[in-house]
Amino acid sequence: MHGEIEEGAVIYDKATGKSRGYGFITYKHMESAHSALRAPSKLIDGRMAVCNLACEGLTGASTTPDLAQRKLYIGGLSPDVTSEMLLNYFGRHGEIEEGSVAYDKDTNESRGFGFVTYKTTEAAKKAIDDPQKILGGRTIIVKLADTHKGKPVQTQVPAAAVVPLAMPMAPGYPQLGKAHPSAAPAGYAYPQPVAPYQASSSSSPAAAPTPYPSQSTIAYASIAAKKDPQGIPPTTPMGMSGYPYYIGKQ
């Protein structure tokens, strides 16, 4: 519809034989390519496709600074909702640049979510603020696509870029279960040998103290120990107030 085509093809996967979701078109005249780029969004077979110059890459049409504020994530879609229904529903808020329902590559069934990119940030804000978010009999989720990505993925450093460094270890402390890479492990013997004391020529070592003389044993007389009587010793009966207690004769 934009002009005579010189060549074109859809790119297929060599292993599965299925489409990879993009292709290339070459026009005979530059004016035809410019005419196609004036309306980059094309509805093809129920999906909103996007065209751009091949030299810009697959994302050349969407490399604008405000893309994060214009691209929306649509979740909670019914399996019966098609890309055409999705575009017609969100087209009431403004002009759509691109959008479609996400389909499974193997089964070609809806995955329950999709994306819509508006041409202006105002239209995207209207879609988010719309209180009536019901499509296909379900309440859908509408939010910015960047907030749905989750945590960023950490960049993996290739193994070839990491150079292992050998950590030096004391020869007396080998690693458990491994032989020391640089030297054989050497244990420590106890007690360790001590170098002999070198006496100085200028001073002589102090003499050892003389031991005390032994004393004679003194004999003591043996003392006989008295044997303690067994039982409780008898006590004198006492009266009141310290006076003796007398028992009258009968």
Task: List domains and CATH numbers for the chain.
Answer: 5-50 (no CATH), 65-144 (3.30.70.330)
Lowest mean pLDDT among 60-69, 129-138, 151-160, 226-235: 151-160
Percentage above 70 pLDDT, the chain = 54
d(CA 78, CA 109): 11
pTM across the whole model: 0.43
Share of the chain above pLDDT 90, in %: 24
Nearest to 79 by CA among 52, 48, 54, 113: 113
User: What tokens were used for 28?
Assistant: 């005979």
Q: Is the pLDDT of residue 74 over 90?
A: yes
Instruction: Give the Cα separation of 48 and 136 in Å (integer).
Output: 19
In the block, tokens 């004036």 appear at 38
Q: Is the pLDDT of residue 78 over 80?
A: yes
What does the DSSP 8-state code read for residue 65? T
Write out the H or E segment, with its range, that includes residue 69. helix 67-70
Task: Give yes or no for residue 16 having a pLDDT over 80.
Answer: yes
Cβ proximity of 49 and 40 under 8 Å? no
